[in-house]
Amino acid sequence: MDFYGDGEGWRFAVRAESPGQVLAAKCWVACLSVRRRAFRIVDLAVDSFNYVDGVFDAAGLTGIELGTNMRIRRQGQVVTVDALNNRYGALWTHREASIPSVCIKPANKIAIS
């Protein structure tokens, strides 16, 4: 399952290869969206996707009339959770939920209605 994000104008996707990696993939998308320049994911990419970036005024380009809007075709990288964890360390580790023994002991003299 791919989770898409963008950071500083570049789009990317983080691929969860198992249901247990879904939360880690979402954490990576959030982290990469905020600190995109801190991570180099181009060489970790296992796949790519094409997208059309928004409209921008092309007046500064030679040979194009003033006021002409352009759409730019770009390519985003798809990286796996495992590749990100191996390179940068795991952001999220699965921990077993532990219930304190205080919560397990029954309360005395309390009527539950």
Each residue's pLDDT tens digit, 24-60: 999 999 999 988 888 888 899 999 988 887 666 555 5
| Residue 91 domain-assigned (yes or no) | yes
Pairing of strands 10-15, 2-7: antiparallel
| Residue 112 domain-assigned (yes or no) | no
Please give the tally of structural domains in the chain.
1
User: Are 89 and 31 a contacting pair, CB within 8 Å?
Assistant: no
Confidence label for 99 from pLDDT (cuts 50, 70 and 90):
very low
Provide the residue range defining the domain that includes 29. Answer: 2-104
pLDDT score for 81 = 94
3-state DSSP call for residue 61?
Answer: coil
Which segments of the chain does DSSP mark as H helices, in order?
Answer: 22-34, 81-88, 101-104
| Residue 41 domain-assigned (yes or no) | yes
| Residue 99 domain-assigned (yes or no) | yes
**What is the distance between the alpha carbons of residues 101 and 95, in angstroms, rounded to a whole number?**
18
3-state DSSP call for residue 77?
Answer: strand
| Residue 110 domain-assigned (yes or no) | no
**What is the distance between the alpha carbons of residues 96 and 81, in angstroms, rounded to a whole number?**
20
| Residue 111 domain-assigned (yes or no) | no
In sequence order, what are the residues at sequence separation of 6 or more whose Cβ sits closer than 8 angstroms to the Cβ of residue 99?
Answer: none
Q: Which residue has the higher pLDDT, 107 or 83?
A: 83
| Residue 6 domain-assigned (yes or no) | yes
| Residue 113 domain-assigned (yes or no) | no
